[in-house]
Amino acid sequence: MSEPEIYYATYCRLDEASGDSCVIVNPNAVVIAAELTVTKEIHVTEKGKEVPRILLSRGDVAMGFLPDKVFNRVSKLLDEGWMCRAFASAVIIDKVSDITQVDVAIICYQPDVAAAIDPFINTLVKHMAKGERPIIDLSPKEVEHVIECAGQSNEIKLQKLPKLEKGRAYYKTRRTMTENMAYAAAEGNKGCYVGLFIVVFLIIFSIVSFIFLR
């Protein structure tokens, strides 16, 4: 008898359109490794048919919709009471159609293993922020190891970014220095808060100097 499933994770590229809805992503508004809100919605097709979709967003900024294959799995897990978290892992530019798509990491798990999985996710996020791509699709034995270690395992495996189709390129795969300082400041690191203030001040000073001294 097989063991019950308690964990599911995958990377996927978000769709920019769904029925009568379309998302226009500003690539500079996407922060790598930032957690996204997962929201189930009902969309209407051109023929008036209602279709359930899952929208991922950061605050009030929509990032895109889960592709069908991933949507079906995640939607079922949400209905079963699983926790489903999503993180921006890369920004992709389509030079031909001039659209921006967000690549995300989707991690779902049963609530009763959250005490172990949440710390593990925090470690994964740190790797993503540095531009690395950790392997998140774990085998049952690997999931069991994470739980036994209470999420403190350092055995994080990395993989290369997948090659993109012709005409597409990675625009962003890691956090910028300013974004890193902003996150650290939000977590209470006073040194990073001061550093962020200095960076913002220097940017404003440079702009003002350029305007008045050119």
How is the chain split into domains, by residue range? 7-175, 176-214
Rounded Cα distance between 62 and 75, Å, is 18
Give first-to-last CA distance, the chain, whole Å: 76
Closest C-alpha to 104, from 84, 76, 81: 84
Check whether 210 has a pLDDT greater than 90: no
Question: pLDDT for 30-47, tens place per residue?
Answer: 999 999 999 999 887 777
| Residue of 180, 128, 123 whose CA lies nearest to 156 | 123
Q: What share of the chain is helix, strand, coil (3-state, %, to 5)?
A: 35, 30, 30
Helix axes 190-213, 177-186, angle to 10 degrees: 140
Q: Does the model's pTM come out above 0.85?
A: no
pLDDT at 74 over 50: yes
**Pairing status of strand 83-94 against strand 35-44:** antiparallel
